[in-house]
Amino acid sequence: MHDLNHTQPPEPPEAAENGALYTFITGLAGGIVLAIINIVIILANASAFRQISQSAGTNVPASGDVAGLVGGLQCMVIIIGALISFFAGFFVGKRTIQRRLGFYAGALVGLLFFLSNSVMNLLPISPTHVPNSGPTSSAGITIGVMFLILVAAIYSVIAGLLGLLGARIATGKHPYYQRQAR
């Protein structure tokens, strides 16, 4: 009989078959669902978003009601995104028993959410589009691209940490992680 008091180092959990593919599909599905939710909310409230984007280029602020509505809608989308990242990590962690894959699934959700927001802001027909107010230089474009990459990384890391939390909760009772905690 195997004595747990004199144990050997715990063996890492066996990798689930196609764990990386499952992680990619889960993160991609979560990111697409979040992008669709974001786009539907923006288009359903296009007049409010258009008022905010038009007031961005002027000194005339939008009304408090409109600003509150848009701010509340954006907060709701961020909370939904946090939940989707968490559950993507939870499902991946439950399926693969590897917490790092939960991080990757959450990070992919966050990256796709950021990219969908960026594309919506760049489209001239979008209610969130703010037109360019002056000439642009190559240095300005370079700084803008570097800033976009930095913000995309921040979105991805935060969503990835939420996915890792979900994977940690999902794998908390797995024997490998219980033995490691002792």
**Choice among 56-70, 99-113, 141-155 with the minimum mean pLDDT:** 56-70
Q: Tokens 């990070």 map to which residue?
A: 107
Model confidence at 68, pLDDT cuts 50, 70, 90, reads: confident
Model confidence at 127, pLDDT cuts 50, 70, 90, reads: confident
The model's pTM is: 0.81
Q: Is the pLDDT of residue 1 over 50?
A: no
Mean pLDDT of 51-55: 76
- Report the mean per-residue pLDDT for the chain: 84
Dump the DSSP string for 112-180: HHHHHHHHHHH-TTSTT-----S---HHHHHHHHHHHHHHHHHHHHHHHHHHHHHHHHHTTTSHHHHHH
- Residue ranges of the domains in the chain? 18-181
Mean pLDDT of 7-15: 60
